[in-house]
Amino acid sequence: MAQQFDASDLVNWYWTISVPGAPDISINKYLIGGKFGGAAAATKATEVGRVYGAAAGKRLSPRRAPFERAKIGKGTPWDLEHVLAMALDSGAVKASALQGWADSNLGVDCTGFAVAHFSCLGLIDLDGRHAVLSGGASCPYLLDQARRNKARGVSSHLLWDIDELQPDDMVLWMYAGGKESKSPGHISIVVDVDPDSQRVYCSESNGSADSGGHSGPRHTVRVWGGVKGKGSTQYVELDKGAVIFVRTPPRFS
């Protein structure tokens, strides 16, 4: 997965998951696990586990890591291709019901989307040295990685001018000092910028629906509102939210 991908292409990949023997499946739901997911997320995880059991029972060699990531909203597109193929091949879900099953049980959260993007860029190896991130990378972790790389010689990790922004920069709902500005936190990936209109074009996974009904991986346009605060509480106002723009590190440790 080291091939170069634009974050907007990653959104489109989630929307067109290829499953042999079935129409393309769209993953367009937001799914967060753990304490924020509650009983509904636990029910979805149980259903994904049922499919794993059915595939194992048929000796189809399901891979555990993709299923575990899918259970908690951290599934990459290639993870979800595998889960859906196992659901179909095991007979656990019929082809005609596969999209409905995906809508009910699969999705991705914001950091799951970001980690999948960085994996596409070859910066994170989810099945190798970064396997620990299969359980999710927090926004503070991503900021810390950028800080560490600054110490290794990167000129800047925080960006305070819209003209500095470039594709693959991170948007973190945090203040300069590292405190999150919303709970749970949120992350988006910059795709393009229009300084004249002060618009920032992003790709992310979001719990609110866009005009096309996508409430998971989606394209989002936000308005730059300028730099506010100072010191550790400095931030950029983005659609009235408090964010920092962070240069994605050239490597993750």
Q: What is the mean pLDDT of residues 178-204?
A: 96
Establish whether the linkage from the previous residue to 140 is cis, with ω within 30° of 0.
no
| DSSP assignment letter at 45 | H
pLDDT value of position 4: 60
Q: What is the pLDDT of residues 57-109, one digit of tens each?
A: 999 999 999 999 999 999 999 999 999 999 999 999 999 999 999 999 999 99
pLDDT value of position 214: 84
pLDDT value of position 136: 77
In percent, how much of the chain has pLDDT > 90?
Answer: 80
CB atoms near residue 83 (< 10 Å): 26
pLDDT value of position 151: 67
Quick check: helix, strand or coil at residue 79? Answer: helix
Range scoring the smallest mean pLDDT among 12-26, 129-143, 157-171: 129-143
The 3-class SS string of the chain reads: CCCCCCHHHHHHHHHCECCCCCCCECCCCCCCCHHHCHHHHHHHHHHHHHHHHHHHHCCCCCCHHHHHHHHCCECCHHHHHHHHHHHHHCCCCCHHHHHHHHHHHCCECHHHHHHHHHHHCCCCCCCCCCHHHHHCCCHHHHHHHHHHHHHCCCCCCEECCHHHCCCCCEEECECCCCCECCCCCCEEEEEEEECCCCEEEEEEECCCCCCCCCCCEEEEEEEEEEEECCHHHCEEEECCEEEEEECCCCCCC
Residue 2 banded pLDDT, cuts 50, 70, 90: very low
Report how far residue 246's alpha carbon sits from residue 57's, in angstroms, rounded to the nearest whole number.
Answer: 46
30, HSE (Cβ side, Cα atoms, 13 Å): 18
Q: What is the mean pLDDT of residues 128-146?
A: 87
pLDDT value of position 1: 38
Q: Which residues pair with 201 in a beta bridge?
A: 192, 221
Residue 19 banded pLDDT, cuts 50, 70, 90: very high
Q: What is the pLDDT of residues 207-248, one digit of tens each?
A: 998 888 888 999 999 999 999 999 999 999 999 999 999 999
Report how far residue 187's alpha carbon sits from residue 244's, in angstroms, rounded to the nearest whole number.
Answer: 10
pLDDT value of position 154: 65
Closest by alpha carbon to 162, among 153, 174, 171?
171
Residue 33 banded pLDDT, cuts 50, 70, 90: confident
Q: Are 204 and 220 in contact (CB under 8 A)?
A: yes
